[in-house]
């Protein structure tokens, strides 16, 4: 049933949602919702809504789920690649993993590859004020953000807010608190690359954000 859901989504040309990926993983391992809840600390009600695409998970909550299921972030959002060597992944937007949050609409590109040293994310930025955004985000590694459409305001620790236009980018140390806001009429669209020399970068992010979530 789970494979049929994911297969239908692909045949219909629609991006698979996080809920469909989670359902596929759960059915493949014969986990009940209670099993997943016990492993991850996320309530059965929340998991059920995610699977039915009634709600999404924040990035740190998704990392918490991955840690509880003993998976990397890549393994949570997609099955492992069929061939572990000579890796290649065509990043078509319709095949990316869609995740909706209050501030951002993420599309995780090339989700079929695990243990990536670069995590490419196409992001639609919706929030326009730092008050509405909330606390700045911090995680390990570095990232590069390139503006494709609109303009953004970059807020970080240690630096004054900076305006970045389409065709421009910003490279930051991700351990600094940071937030990206849209300052154009329409939501800004950016391509982000989160990177680390550690091939298990996703695992480190998962652990860090899981601890942060429990505080």
This prediction's pTM: 0.58
Note the pLDDT tens digit of each residue in 114-137. 777 788 999 999 999 999 999 998
Cα dist. 144→22, 62, 174, 185, 195 in Å?
A: 28, 21, 9, 23, 8
Provide the b/e sequence for 116-149 (b: ≥16 CB within 10 Å): beebbbbbbbbbbeeeebeeebebbbebebebee
Distance CA 118, CA 193 (A): 6
Percent of the chain with pLDDT over 90: 37
The token pair that represents 35 in the structure block: 């099993």
- Find out whether 80 and 115 touch, Cβ atoms under 8 Å: no
Measured in residues, the chain has a length of: 215
Q: Which two tokens stand for residue 115?
A: 């243990």
Contact 94, 113 (CB under 8 A): no
Token digits of residue 79: 């099955």
189/106: higher pLDDT: 189
Residue 6 reports pLDDT greater than 50: no
Interval 33-66: pLDDT, tens: 999 999 999 999 999 999 888 888 888 788 888 8
CA distance 11 to 41: 34
């Amino acid at each position: 049933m789970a494979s049929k859901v994911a297969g239908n989504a692909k045949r219909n040309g629609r991006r698979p949602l996080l809920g469909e990926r989670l359902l596929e993983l759960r059915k493949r391992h014969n986990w009940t919702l209670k099993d997943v809840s016990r492993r991850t600390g996320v309530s059965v009600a929340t998991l059920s809504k995610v699977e039915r695409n009634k709600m999404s998970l924040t990035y740190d909550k998704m990392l918490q789920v991955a840690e509880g299921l003993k998976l990397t972030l890549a393994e949570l959002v997609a099955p492992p690649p069929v061939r572990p060597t000579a890796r290649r992944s065509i990043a078509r937007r319709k095949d990316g993993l869609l995740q909706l949050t209050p501030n951002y609409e993420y599309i995780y590109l090339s989700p079929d590859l695990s243990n990536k040293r670069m995590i490419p994310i196409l992001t639609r930025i919706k929030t326009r004020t730092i008050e509405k955004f909330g606390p700045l985000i911090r995680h390990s590694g570095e990232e590069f953000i390139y503006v494709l459409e609109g303009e953004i305001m970059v807020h970080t620790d240690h630096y004054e807010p900076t305006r970045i236009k389409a065709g421009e980018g910003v490279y930051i140390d991700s351990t600094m608190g940071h937030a990206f806001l849209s300052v154009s009429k329409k939501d800004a669209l950016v391509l982000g690359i989160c990177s680390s020399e550690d091939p298990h970068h996703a695992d480190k992010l998962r652990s860090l954000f899981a601890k942060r979530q429990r505080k």
